[in-house]
């Protein structure tokens, strides 16, 4: 469902709108924009082959299997290293206070030309916690002098174009209407934000990694599939009803929801994830958390 990335001009215009109410987030939006430009510039260079037929992909969906559990994703090591280097440069340009050794991350021992393909095979199905643990186990943080969270963020940022390219290829062959699960139909990751679609109010989940979008019932927890309406609720700050936190009392997880029908416009969920960081703080204070997943710029 849909194509990624959105047009660069649309991203720039939306950032300008966000900054009218969130001027304190100027630097983090600048980081996002610079990374987005790098990622977008590489999409045409990335060729991710879908080996499954349409019927085979539908069979995956019918069996509750995401596509990458049914076929492998090949990631070119050199292209990944080029992307990683440029992303680290983009972060440093937007955040001069970022550590100087970030610019040397692509030369880390685990990312040497003879090892990078093994590294990618190891980590490409990881979530945030798993990648950070891997970085620590391999002592990449100690060897580079960088925090494991910083390394994880940069690595995921360099992986996104590969997964997005693959998702685009999948969506050209099959839609996601057969998919009924809360994890991504393409890569299996869990969403960190969703929207109520402008046209019909349907709840649309979006994968943070490949940016696939798919329908999911509004009256069901996307983390534990709880359907008991007595234990599902939502809240928002009074001045902004369109940006909500939906919580589940059963699993004590939450999901941020952006209501396009209230806003009367389509939104870019990556940018909304940044702009609604205050809702994450409120949810955490109330005792709700996100599952152990990889969220960017949150």
How distant, in Å, are the alpha carbons of 129, 143, 161 from that of 87? 21, 20, 12
User: What's this model's pTM, rounded to 2 decimal places?
Assistant: 0.93
pLDDT tens-digit profile of 3-27? 788 889 999 999 999 999 899 999 9
Are the CB atoms for 212 and 164 separated by under 8 Å? no
CA distance 112 to 121: 14
Does position 140 have pLDDT exceeding 70, yes or no?
yes
Q: What is the mean pLDDT of residues 158-178?
A: 95
Taking the C-alpha atoms of residue 27 and residue 183, their distance in angstroms, rounded to an integer, is 31
Please state, in angstroms and rounded to a whole number, the distance separating the CA atoms of residues 184 and 206.
8
The answer on pLDDT for 298 being more than 70 is: no
Q: What is the mean pLDDT of residues 179-192?
A: 94
* Residue 293 pLDDT exceeds 80: no
pLDDT at 143: 94
Tokens 């960190």 belong to: 192
Give the pLDDT confidence of 53-89 residue by residue, as tens digits: 999 999 999 999 999 999 999 999 999 999 999 999 9
CA angle 161, 165, 168 (to 5 degrees): 140
Separation between Cα atoms, residue 115 and residue 120, nearest integer Å = 9
DSSP annotation of 238 reads T
DSSP 253: B
Instruction: Write the CA distances from 117 to 21, 149, 244, integer angstroms.
Output: 43, 21, 41
* Widest CA span in the chain: 55
């Amino acid at each position: 469902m849909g194509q990624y990335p959105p047009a660069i001009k649309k991203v720039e215009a939306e950032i300008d709108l966000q900054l009218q109410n969130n001027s304190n987030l100027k630097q983090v939006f600048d980081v996002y924009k610079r990374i987005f430009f790098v990622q977008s510039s590489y999409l045409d260079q990335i060729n991710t082959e879908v080996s499954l037929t349409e019927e085979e992909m539908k069979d995956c969906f019918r069996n509750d299997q995401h596509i990458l559990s049914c076929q492998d994703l090949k990631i070119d090591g050199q292209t990944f290293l080029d992307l990683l280097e440029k992303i680290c440069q983009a972060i440093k340009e937007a955040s001069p206070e970022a550590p100087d050794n970030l610019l040397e991350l692509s030369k880390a021992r685990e990312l040497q030309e003879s090892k990078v393909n093994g590294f990618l095979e190891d980590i490409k199905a990881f979530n945030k916690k798993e990648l950070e643990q891997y970085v620590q186990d391999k002592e990449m943080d100690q060897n580079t002098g960088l925090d494991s969270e910083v390394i994880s963020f940069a690595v995921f940022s360099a992986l996104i174009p590969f997964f997005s390219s693959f998702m685009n290829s999948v969506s050209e062959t099959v839609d996601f209407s057969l998919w009924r699960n809360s994890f991504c139909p393409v890569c299996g990751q869990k969403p960190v934000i969703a929207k109520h679609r402008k046209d019909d109010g349907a709840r649309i989940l979006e994968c943070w990694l490949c940016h696939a979008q798919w329908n999911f019932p509004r009256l069901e927890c996307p983390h534990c599939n709880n359907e008991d309406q007595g234990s599902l609720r939502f809240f928002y700050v009074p001045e902004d009803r369109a940006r909500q936190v939906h919580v589940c009392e059963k699993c004590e997880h939450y999901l941020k929801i952006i209501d396009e029908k209230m806003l009367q416009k389509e939104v870019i969920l990556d940018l909304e994830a940044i702009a609604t960081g205050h809702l994450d703080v409120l949810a955490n204070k109330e005792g709700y958390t996100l599952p152990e997943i990889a969220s960017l710029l949150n």
